[in-house]
Structure 1
Amino acid sequence: MSAVERPPVDEIQSLYIAHHGWLNGWLRRRLGNAADAADLAQDTFMRLLARDAQIAAREPRAFLATVAHGLVANFFRRRQIEQAYLEALAALPVAHVPDLETRAIVLETLVEMDRRLQAVPPAVRSAFLMFQLDGVPQAEIAAQLAVSVATVQRYLVKALHQCCFPA
């Protein structure tokens, strides 16, 4: 990508100066936490810096809110995954609880797999999770989803491909 296609830093700087305080307040009201709001406000502007397109926002606050809204959704989804993982860890015997570094790696992997699986249709995701996590046989998945076993097999291949080779 050429430098011309990237948004000019001064354009983002102007947005930052004019609207960062507003965005931070907007996020704080949604999150109920000043620290998380500050982090997501910064992440919003970092996302803009990473874009490969010009920013021609006629309504800068609506534009920033749209970008931040996606980050808020990701934030809450990550929090759900983290909570589920912590609950699973709490059920383990103390001797089997992984160290902090391993837990961080596993959590990042879970979040990334969730992100990748969000890119496939719900039926594909459901089939994959039933098969991989619950050990449901393919014939039973086919019955539950009202599709053929061959379709379930295609779903499993599609989901596995998405997990290993995302677009």
Structure 2
Amino acid sequence: MHRKLGCWHRSADLAHDTFMRLLAREEAPSILEPRAFLTTVAQRVLANHWRRDKLEQAYLEALASRPPELVPSAEERAILLETLQEISELLDGLPVAVKRAFLMAQLEGMSQTEIAAALKISVTTVKRHLVRAGTQCYFAMAVA
């Protein structure tokens, strides 16, 4: 991980996350190739790290465009980033258009008609996208 990240501290944190992910499992997996298995889990943790960094960077850029008096406190930013990460994980695996429609509706408060116009799709397709994203979130939360 250090070769990919270039930082001993971050790579140690991600190695810790990798082992915590394995220890948190309900039942121990039967592992035929422990090194390959650990490498796969570590790569997934690293991919999640990069996705989280990209999300955080986009959030910080959005904050930079706000007037100073509307910028949330450090604690509020941390909570918002954690919430955004949870939403991102819930929507993981959905097509981009479905995610965008869902986020436009939930975060920006856009109507289905406005979303359809912005994405250049029909209102019926927007409804399907919203149902699909909502269903994915509901069942993902029910499992957790």
TM-score (norm 2): 0.81
3-state SS of paired residue (2:30): coil
Q: 1:103 to 1:164 in 2, by over 3 A?
A: farther
- 1:137 aligned onto 2:125: no
Q: Does 1:98 align with 2:75?
A: no
1:113 aligns with 2:87: yes
Residue 79 of structure 1: which of 53, 60, 83 is its match? 53
Structure 2 residue corresponding to 1:57, chosen from 13, 22, 31: 31
C-alpha deviation, 1:160, in angstroms? 3.4
* CA gap 1:164/1:31 in 2 versus in 1, 3 angstroms: same
Cα offset, 1:99, TM superposition = 0.9
Once the 2 structures are TM-superposed, how far is the Cα of residue 33 of structure 1 from its aligned partner? 0.9
- Structure showing greater radius of gyration is 1
Preserved CA contact (<8 Å) 1:130 1:141: no
Unaligned runs of 5+ in 2: none
Determine if contact 1:124/1:158 at 8 Å carries over to the other structure.
Answer: yes
**In 1: Cα distance, 2:8 partner to 2:20 partner:** 18
Aligned to 2:5: 31
Q: Select the residue among 99, 103, 126 that pairs with 2:100.
A: 126
Change (3 A) 1:134 1:73: farther
Question: What TM-score, normalized to structure 1?
Answer: 0.71
Shift of 1:52: 2.2
Q: Distance in 2 between matches of 1:158 and 1:152?
A: 10
Deviation per residue, 1:28-67 (Å, 9 max, x gap): 1111111011011111111111112333322221110100
Unaligned runs of 5+ in 1: 1-26
Tell me, in whole angstroms, the C-alpha distance in 1 between the residues paired with 2:29 and 2:56.
Answer: 33
Per-residue CA deviations over 1:99-151 (Å, capped at 9, x if unaligned) read 11111111111111111111433332233245554947244257x34xx4223
